[in-house]
Amino acid sequence: MKPILMFLVWLLIPLTGFAEQKLLLQRDFEAEAVGEPPQGGMAFLPGSKPDVKVVGLGAGQSSRCLKAVRSDSGRLTALAFEFSEPQQRVLIELSFAFSPGKGRSLNLWSFEPKGQDASQFNLCIQNGSLQQYDGRTKTWQVISRNVKPSTDADHPVWHRLKMVFDAKQPGIDFWLSQPGTLSLPKKPTGTLHTYRTNLDLAGIALVSGKRLAPDAWYYVDDLIVQGGPQLPSPGMVKPLPKPVTLWTGPPIPADFEKIPFVPGMTHQTIHRATKDGYKFLHGAAIIAHKGTLYANWANSPKNENGPEETLQGRRSKDGGKTWSDLEIIGPGFEGPDRHSHGVLLVHQGKLWTICSRFGIGKPAKRFPGLQAEAFVLNEATDAWESQGIVMQNCWPYDEPVRMENGNLITGGQDKDGLPVVAISHGDDLTRWDTVLIPFPPELKPSFAETTVMASGKTVRAIIRGGAGVAWIATSDDYGRTWSPAKQSNLPMPRSKAYFGKLSTGQEYLVSNLKNRDTLVISVSKPGETTLSRMWKIRHGKSGPPRFTGFAKGKQWSYPYAHEHDGKLYVVYSIGKEDCGLSILPLESLQVPADSNSGQ
């Protein structure tokens, strides 16, 4: 039924209870000129050029609708339709169809008066599902996966969508038809949280900017907007679960200049990229063995995770003051297979390194055919010898720790960038089991590097994830099963962290804070499992990369730590070109058990 016919039917309904319900906008585009922008639409941002035009097809019996495609004039480029007057409560109905593809193929939002961003609803289709952006968690939440792309633009698969939301309430009700039909269900398909609240509603925008995939398109038809207090109130949304308490110290200053540096700390640069050598470096590890410090990292000719990537390292016999020439540990390959960074450990008197290897094999979102290969230092020949593939589908990230049951455990990520741990078969380090850590959608794993701490049967994992915080999961059976990962109350950006325990009985976490410009260490009181003191290790912009390469930038990132001789040795990437080392005196990190943990 076309909107004009529906409106005539509404006029026959008694007006009792609907006196304050207004028809704010009604567009079926039947009288519009094909190939032209619709009348009454305007650029959402002045100076932008949305690409939204009328085409000669439509939903149901319609012969006209709007088609939106990507415009390169800006990310917030959109065609806006303003309501006749701002509203508090609104009902929107529209029909839509969309193109196939993994990228974003549809994006609509509401906006406030004179707004320059989305307001309550921010709707998209990407990765095969209809989603709403949750402003609390800053993540896309799935409304429904029951949508079908149109493989033939001339014969689209239409859907009907209805939304009810209120400027003062956090919930939005969504009703979605079955693909290929325009009949809405009686009950809401879902109630999700708004992007923003407490903003009057002034209009709806059809996005046409760079947020759409390059070849994406979508259709919109039969747009109806009603407003007024007599509209049904949207449903309630569940509150977010309380974050896991990881930080029990004083409030972390917004001004990081107020966070002190570790007293007595010194810095070294273990390795610098040169124009004649490999120009990408990342993922350093360090360990002490028989009086020598060993450090290694991923090196590639130019790009992160690029072909011909290798595992290389240096040694120091004077506590990190000077370092040996480069040595190649994982030599890489001529084809798509490659070695990359990993972990170091001493086991039964021998020095091991276990590094990632990927590039060929089972397809993956991130690392095809991901495995881990072990190398052992032959002290008689002073050469690293391969022990073969020891892990499947795990990229290990922290020095494996011994659990009470005799197995070792390390944190990592899998071939798709999801959080995992790897567990040894006792002292047989040639066999490890990979276990996935469950997580909610809010984690938004892309490179969910994981670091672990074991105590008795309990293993805690700290995971890189979304929402600007560290994520935590717990196992009570030596890492075999896990609670779903949850947000903690400790700020941490999307960057790898390192979790460990000092000989003083204090737990510690080396991590970035807000972004990769600040690297900090947080510690607990002896015997406690929450962190309560924080010091800076590095702060401010690092030097810029000297060579071009994928994913490089100013940063102090991907820390790895090892305690030796009364000091904590922390290695990290500098701009993804150089390997930095900071040496922290343990006495500077001590927090008395009866301290109030004042910063």
Please determine, for residue 476, whether its predicted confidence score (pLDDT) is greater than 80.
Answer: yes
H helical segments located in 299-401: none
**Mean pLDDT score, 353-372:** 97
**Mean pLDDT score, 96-118:** 94
Q: Are strands 428-436 and 450-455 parallel, antiparallel or unpaired?
A: unpaired
pTM of the model: 0.81
The answer to which of 10-14, 348-352, 494-498 has the lowest mean pLDDT is: 10-14
Q: Which residues of 133-163 are buried (b: 16+ CB within 10 A; e: fewer)?
A: bbbebebbbebeeebbbbeeeeebbbbbbbb
Is 521 in contact with 539 (CB distance < 8 Å)? no
Domain boundaries, the chain: 22-227, 256-589
Please determine, for residue 430, whether its predicted confidence score (pLDDT) is greater than 70.
Answer: yes
Q: Which residues pair with 192 in a beta bridge?
A: 172
Confidence at residue 595, expressed as pLDDT on a 0 to 100 scale: 66
The length of the chain, given as a count of residues: 599
The proportion of the chain whose per-residue pLDDT surpasses 70, expressed as a percent, equals 96
The proportion of the chain whose per-residue pLDDT surpasses 90, expressed as a percent, equals 90
Q: How confident is the model at residue 248 (pLDDT cuts 50, 70, 90)?
A: very high
Please determine, for residue 11, whether its predicted confidence score (pLDDT) is greater than 50.
Answer: no
Q: How confident is the model at residue 335 (pLDDT cuts 50, 70, 90)?
A: very high
Burial class, 72, CB count within 10 angstroms (exposed 0-12 / middle 13-18 / buried 19+): exposed
90-106, pLDDT tens digit by residue?
999 999 999 999 899 99
Task: Report which residue type is found at 592.
Answer: P
Confidence at residue 598, expressed as pLDDT on a 0 to 100 scale: 54
Please determine, for residue 224, whether its predicted confidence score (pLDDT) is greater than 50.
Answer: yes
Please determine, for residue 7, whether its predicted confidence score (pLDDT) is greater than 80.
Answer: no
Confidence at residue 73, expressed as pLDDT on a 0 to 100 scale: 85
Residue 574's Cβ-side half-sphere holds a number of Cα atoms within 13 Å equal to 23
**Mean pLDDT score, 395-419:** 98
In angstroms, rounded to a whole number, what is the distance separating the alpha carbons of residues 66 and 517?
Answer: 45
Structure tokens at 307: 């072909």
**Mean pLDDT score, 507-521:** 98
Confidence at residue 3, expressed as pLDDT on a 0 to 100 scale: 43
523-575, pLDDT tens digit by residue?
999 999 999 999 999 999 999 999 999 999 999 999 999 999 999 999 999 99
Please determine, for residue 504, whether its predicted confidence score (pLDDT) is greater than 70.
Answer: yes
Is 540 in contact with 519 (CB distance < 8 Å)? no
Is 569 in contact with 293 (CB distance < 8 Å)? yes
Q: Radius of gyration (Cα) for the chain, nearest Å?
A: 28
Please determine, for residue 2, whether its predicted confidence score (pLDDT) is greater than 70.
Answer: no
3-class DSSP assignment, residue 380: coil
3-class DSSP assignment, residue 29: coil
Q: What is the DSSP string of 382-435?
A: TEEEEEEEEEES-EE-S--EE-TTS-EEEEEE-TTS-EEEEEEETTEEEEEEEE
Confidence at residue 486, expressed as pLDDT on a 0 to 100 scale: 96
Residues 6+ positions from 587 with CB-CB distance below 8 Å: 264, 566
User: Which superfamily does CATH assign the domain made up of 22-227 to?
Assistant: Exo-inulinase; domain 1 (2.60.120.560)
The answer to which of 12-26, 130-144, 208-222 has the lowest mean pLDDT is: 12-26
- For residues 20 and 154, the model is more confident at 154
Confidence at residue 207, expressed as pLDDT on a 0 to 100 scale: 96
Q: Which residues pair with 160 in a beta bridge?
A: 95
CATH class label, 256-589? mainly beta
Confidence at residue 126, expressed as pLDDT on a 0 to 100 scale: 93
Please determine, for residue 13, whether its predicted confidence score (pLDDT) is greater than 70.
Answer: no
In angstroms, rounded to a whole number, what is the distance separating the alpha carbons of residues 106 and 518?
Answer: 37
Confidence at residue 467, expressed as pLDDT on a 0 to 100 scale: 87
Q: How confident is the model at residue 597 (pLDDT cuts 50, 70, 90)?
A: low
User: Tokens 């402003």 sit at which residue?
Assistant: 135
In angstroms, rounded to a whole number, what is the distance separating the alpha carbons of residues 157 and 164?
Answer: 24
Structure tokens at 264: 């007595």
Q: What is the residue-averaged pLDDT of the chain?
A: 94
In angstroms, rounded to a whole number, what is the distance separating the alpha carbons of residues 442 and 450?
Answer: 16
Please determine, for residue 65, whether its predicted confidence score (pLDDT) is greater than 70.
Answer: yes
Please determine, for residue 74, whether its predicted confidence score (pLDDT) is greater than 90.
Answer: no
